[in-house]
Copies of this chain bind each other. A is one copy, B any other.
Amino acid sequence: MKKSELGLIEWIRSQAGGGAGPGVLTGIGDDMAVLAVGSEQVLITCDMLLDGVHFDSSQASLAQIGYKVLAVSLSDCAAMAALPLAAVVSVALPDGLTMADAEELMAGIGRAARRYACPVVGGDTTSWDKPLAIDVALLGRTDGVEPVRRSGAKVGDAILVTGALGGSLAGGHLDFAPRIAEARLLAQMAPLHALIDLSDGLSTDLHHICTESDVSALLDAEAIPISSAARQRPDPLAAALNDGEDFELLLCTAAADAQKLLSVWPTQSDVPLSLVGQVLEGDPRQRLFLRRGGQTLQSLSPAGYEHFRREGPGSSRK
């Protein structure tokens, strides 16, 4: 699930229990909802991607767009430490697209589906005289690993991230690897208190964890792993803090468990794991702090990603 626009998701959440129900273990507000089915748990998320907002069909191929739309939801699945169960895909196809175009789009979806063992079990397609719109709803299963929410971070926890951050809009946002295997491995190696995928950007997504867990957090500027793409930017640290769509993992775990993870991890995975900060006592007025040079402390705001930026009058994002 993505960040709310117009506060609508918050509004839904505030209505009549925010989608509470007898089988609803976790409703709106996490990366996936968690539902009880008999003695099992099933997770669900949805993401709608729109041409000109989340991708630009004049820049990206239909195969890339198809891959991305499923991978975004697969990353939500990683953010709960869940495994994919199945997905359904709805597509609004512009009238100008041919059957071959549509097949290229579906082949991109199929590439992500096969790579992450997520069968596409249903769909709905319509053509219209408007731009391409695609929605994926993805189901997850727990298979022995309890889902990790955003809400369990504890004071004193270490904050870790996978990969290197920033600059994904240079291209990485079209061909990233959802960290499903990494999330499962981490959750099996140590109790994770909170987990989220970096879709909105480190500062914004850490702010989500802080709000849901009612804690604050301190990031060490020098410890944040900065991608080579972000290093090309005028302010690489700002790119690593605020660019969206890295789709890496951000997690909180007890300090001792973090040390254990950091020492063993390189033998388990090629994906880097970095200690970037620690969880502080919650202060609703200030959730995020940044330490530079090991000393100077400054407050940090969630300055997340606003999707693909559109220019021109009448098209600014709310």
Write the residues of chain A forming the contact surface with B, with a CB cutoff of 8 angstroms: 1-2, 4-9, 11-12, 15-16, 19-21, 23-24, 27-28, 32-33, 35, 37-40, 42, 44-48, 50, 52-54, 85-86, 88-93, 95, 99, 102-103, 106, 110, 113-114, 117, 119-131, 133, 135, 137, 139, 141, 307, 310, 314-315, 317-318
Contact = CB atoms under 8 A, between A and B. Distances in A.
Please list the 6 inter-chain residue pairs (A to B) with the smallest Cβ-Cβ separation, ordered nearest first: A137-B137, A21-B119, A48-B90, A33-B121, A135-B135, A38-B40
Given A47-B90, A48-B133, 13 more contacts: A2-B124, A5-B126, A6-B127, A8-B99, A12-B106, A24-B119, A27-B122, A40-B40, A44-B122, A48-B135, A54-B126, A90-B135, A127-B317
B38 A119 contact: no
B19 A133 contact: no
B141 A110 contact: no
Contact of A122 (B8, B33, B102, B133): B33
B135 A102 contact: no
B122 A92 contact: no
Nearest to A72: B124
Contacts of A135: 46, 48, 90, 124, 135, 137
A141 B110 CA distance: 27
A68 B128 CA distance: 19
Nearest to A31: B122
Interface of chain A: mostly helix, strand, loop or mixed? mixed
A11 B106 contact: yes
B86 A19 contact: yes
Contacts of A33: 86, 88, 121-122
A181 B181 CA distance: 42
A7 B4 CA distance: 34
Contacts of A50: 92, 126, 128, 130, 133
Nearest to A20: B119
A109 to B, nearest CB: 9
A197 B44 CA distance: 25
Contacts of A89: 46
A130 to B, nearest CB: 5
Contact of A27 (B27, B47, B121, B128): B121
B44 A86 contact: yes
A317 B137 CA distance: 26
A308 B126 CA distance: 12
A16 to B, nearest CB: 7
30 contacts: A1-B88, A1-B123, A1-B124, A2-B124, A4-B125, A6-B93, A8-B99, A8-B102, A8-B106, A8-B123, A9-B124, A12-B106, A21-B119, A23-B85, A24-B86, A27-B122, A28-B122, A33-B86, A35-B139, A37-B37, A37-B42, A42-B139, A44-B121, A46-B88, A46-B124, A50-B128, A95-B318, A127-B317, A133-B133, A135-B135
